[in-house]
Structure 1
Amino acid sequence: MSYLNPSTGSGSRTSRMTFEFGRTYVVRPKGKHQATIVWLHGLGDNGSSWSQLLESLPLPNIKWICPTAPTRPVAILGGFPCTAWFDVGELSDDGPDDFEGLDASVAHIANLLSTEPADVKLGIGGFSMGAATALYSATCFAQGKYGNGNTYPVNLRAIIGLSGWLPGSRNVRNKIEGSLEAARRASSLPILLCHGSCDEVVPYKYGERSTLVLNSAGFRNLAFKKYDGLGHYTVPREMDEVCHWLNARLVLEGCR
């Protein structure tokens, strides 16, 4: 599936950029369909690997949608092309953020969720770069618009980020505080962030700092879980936390 970035900037180089998304994998609910969550893989991965893990979770009433990111040159890999939700260079507090790529991916995710039944609760989760994209989606939901100004169309009920960070963190607080409606949306959106203390790819400090930034911007319904000794991967106890948290926040029937 391709996505043409709907940038409205006059004469913008990025207004014609097209992103080709890969295959989407779907895990159907085994029980009553009560929630749909789009789950986003990390850099260089695809939707298939996570769909297999998610299918094994004791959450029979969740439908999981696992898309595959576009293949694009990635700065942190010296321009080598691989699957990535957006371009990223070295992680730093003052580094540039690829808002064009982020907006394209977040719009693709919203399109996947927009066809779900009206009575189904919607969420976004992910690992590493996928977690970063999920958190950016949270800020778009709160503001009611993408970074390019187009309307964000989906009512989110849950955000999960494992081993990730918040892109565009420098400006989030100002954007949320400037609108009463944005502040209301931010305060009502449940967010779970998990991070390993020994993460060698996305250092723990970025997960911790993202939590502080989101909280200061008005995202009050936020839980941050630190996993001592955990590197840049997930473990059963972390996924157990995800299951318990989703069950509590979405009040799913028949989940243990």
Structure 2
Amino acid sequence: LFHLTVVSLYLLFLKAVVTLSLVLIDYERKRYMGSCGLLLGLAPMRLHLNSSIARCSATFLCDPSCFKQIRPICMASASTSSKPKLQSGRKLSFGTTHVIQPKGEHRATVVWLHGLGDVGASWAEALEDLPLQNIKWIVPTAPVQPVAVMAGFPCNAWFDVGSLTEEGPNDLEGLDASAAHVAELLSKESANVKLGVGGFSQGAATSMYTTACSFIGSYSDGTSFPCKLNITVAISGWLPSTKTIESRLKENPEAIKGAKDYSIFLGHGTSDEIVLYKFGQKSAVALQALGFSSLVFKTYKGLGHYTNSTEMEDICTFLKERLQLQG
């Protein structure tokens, strides 16, 4: 009986150890997936703006309920057309879209795209507080999908990222799907309203790709891009599929006749250890070489992979001037 009791206690102990181990493994897996690359610093960004300062912090939980609740704003649910069926068989389901109505006369609509592993809600609050009363902000959420740079772990991503190098693989299907989602969100805007796209990190990369589609007039598969953009803002990002975009634009010089007058703002911090500063520089050089001579590239000394009040103030000034908005 004594031996049976000892064996039973030992088995219970082993069961407890295994259970605890599984719980810890599951916790670490969720934390790792939620951060979408904590070791690489690809953590969701949260921006909080008040009258004088901007504070950024990383949120390492993948559950959107962990984000601080923002005050109620209009919520636009994704339609079935925003879930493209791609040739590869992938199915992408875009998340919640936040719509922030302008406080004054509606003169422009800008779709703002969050970074890798983030959600639209974390940027909606900050954009709502910007002193841009004539802009309607549309802030969507990327679909959850496996990301190669994270060993296939799934998180919110506009496209699959294999590498930030120029030789890295390009997920043109994912880029096209996200660009199509941006176009769909802008499709119901009035003809007299100027249209724009912007974003942070991977969202910035997607916004630059969407801009290229607008000028080329089609996606990589030849399907027509349905709208013309007027302005682009991209911070802490890079131009994805650079060689493909350069090739397509050079093959169609008619498509970039208006490039010299198109407004692009690129901002990048010199201390960005995630999307290196040199990638921002290369993106600016590549776009300028393609004819986007009105492009503004701002350097922020000491700024890491986040934004601050100085950069946001520069963005506000840029949007007001280029879109001729009320001050």
Q: Provide TM-score, normalisation by structure 1.
A: 0.93
Provide the residue aligned with 2:72 in structure 1. none
- Using the size of structure 2 for normalisation, the TM-score is 0.74
Coordinate RMSD, CA, aligned: 1.3
Q: Does 1:239 pair with 2:312?
A: yes
2:175 aligned counterpart, secondary structure: helix
The 5-angstrom pairing of residues 62-211 of structure 1 reads 62-211=135-284
- 1:220 shift after superposition: 1.6
Q: Which amino acid aligns with 1:56?
A: D
For 2:148 and 2:90, how far apart are their aligned partners in 1?
Answer: 17
Q: Is the 8 A contact 1:88 1:98 kept in 2?
A: yes
Q: Distance in 1 between matches of 2:196 and 2:237?
A: 17
Is 1:37 the counterpart of 2:121 in the alignment?
no
Structure 2 distance, partners of 1:5, 1:149, is 15
Unaligned residue ranges in structure 2 (runs of 5+): 1-77
Once structures 1 and 2 are overlaid, which stretch shifts more, 85-94 or 130-139? 85-94
Q: Which amino acid aligns with 2:302?
A: G
Q: After the TM superposition, list the runs of 4 or more consecutive aligned residues in structure 1 that deviate by more than 6 angstroms.
A: none
CA distance in structure 2 between the partners assigned to 1:185 and 1:95 by the alignment = 30
User: Offset of 1:122 from its aligned partner?
Assistant: 0.4
Identity of aligned residues (%): 50
- Are 1:223 and 2:287 matched, yes or no? no
What does residue 10 of structure 1 align with? none
Checking the alignment, whether the CA contact within 8 Å between 1:144 and 1:182 is kept in structure 2 is: yes
- The offset of 1:45, in angstroms, is 0.5
What's the counterpart of residue 35 of structure 2? none
Q: Which amino acid aligns with 1:176?
A: L
Sort the Cα spacing of 1:151 and 1:185 in 2 relative to 1 into closer, same or farther, 3 A.
Answer: farther
Match of 2:90 among 3, 7, 17: 17
Equivalent pair of 1:174/1:217 in contact (CA under 8 Å): no
SS of alignment partner, residue 267 of structure 2: strand
* Structure 1 residues not aligned, in runs of 5+: 8-12
- Higher alpha-carbon deviation: 102-111 or 212-221: 212-221
- The total of aligned residue pairs comes to 248
Q: Relative contact order, CA 8 A, sep 6+: which one is greater?
A: 1
Q: Which is greater in Rg? A: 2
Paired AA for residue 21 in structure 1: F
The amino acid that maps onto 1:96 is P
Provide closer, same or farther for how the CA distance between residues 134 and 199 of structure 1 changes in structure 2, counting only shifts above 3 A. Answer: same
